[in-house]
Structure formats: C-alpha cells, structure tokens
Amino acid sequence: MRRFLGVPAFCAVLVVAGCGGVQELEAGEVETVEVATTTVASAARTGSLKPGDAKKVEALMVLCHEKPLAEYEGDSMRELLGETAPKLKQADPQLSKRVEDRATHGCD
C-alpha cells in the first residue's frame, strides 16, 4: 500500500520540480515593464507614439517571449501584452496588431 501511494506522490514532486514555479522578473526587467506600460498609457491618452516609444513596447514583447509566465502586479507577461494591444490601437494600429499576435500566439 505504501508503495502504491508513493508513486503518485513522487510523480507530483517531479512535476512541480520540473515546472520551476513562476518565473521572477529581475530589477531591470521590472523597469522594462514599467517604462513600456507608462509609454502605452501616454500613447493611449495622446493618440500617438513618440519617436523611440515603439522600441520600449518591443522590449516588453521580447520579455514576454523570454518569460511568458513571469508576473508583474498579478498579471503574467502574456496577460499584460493582451491588455496593452487595445490601448495602442489608436496610436499605432500596426504595433497594436503585432502586440496582440505576440500575446495570443508568440509568448510561449
């Protein structure tokens, strides 16, 4: 009986260990997220991106690709991109589409 119960418990330990848990953002990565979210909020208010702002959003997309499950203020990078795309639609429809595609298909 002990052997029978030990196998599922051992498998559960392997699964949890293999997943590695939730990825953590490093200080520089948190700054990347904060800069990008501030940029997107500004673009949503003004209806346009300033020169160089697209690079900040692209850095967020790269971070999403590298750490899709990492969380920022309770949202995964994938969820954050999903929330970002509609905010960019007025300011830059092409970038908004790229962000939406990345959130839907390309973070993993």
Report if residue 47 sits inside a domain. Answer: yes
Report if residue 59 sits inside a domain. Answer: yes
Q: Assess contact for 33 and 72: CB atoms under 8 A.
A: yes
Report if residue 2 sits inside a domain. Answer: no
Check residue 27 and give its pLDDT.
92
Check residue 23 and give its pLDDT.
82
- Range list of H helices, 1-108: 2-19, 27-46, 53-66, 77-88, 93-101
Check residue 7 and give its pLDDT.
57
* Domains held by the chain: number: 1
Strand-pair partners of 16: none
Q: Which residues contact 84 (CB under 8 A, 6 or more apart)?
A: 36, 37, 40, 57, 60, 99, 103
Report if residue 63 sits inside a domain. Answer: yes
Report if residue 12 sits inside a domain. Answer: no
Range of the domain at 91: 23-106
Check residue 2 and give its pLDDT.
53
Helices 27-46 and 77-88, axial angle in degrees (round to 10): 20
Q: Which pLDDT tens digits describe the chain residue by residue (108 residues)?
A: 555 555 555 555 444 444 555 688 999 999 999 999 999 999 999 999 999 999 999 999 999 999 988 999 999 999 999 999 999 999 999 999 999 999 888 765
Report if residue 3 sits inside a domain. Answer: no
Check residue 59 and give its pLDDT.
96
Report if residue 46 sits inside a domain. Answer: yes
Report if residue 5 sits inside a domain. Answer: no
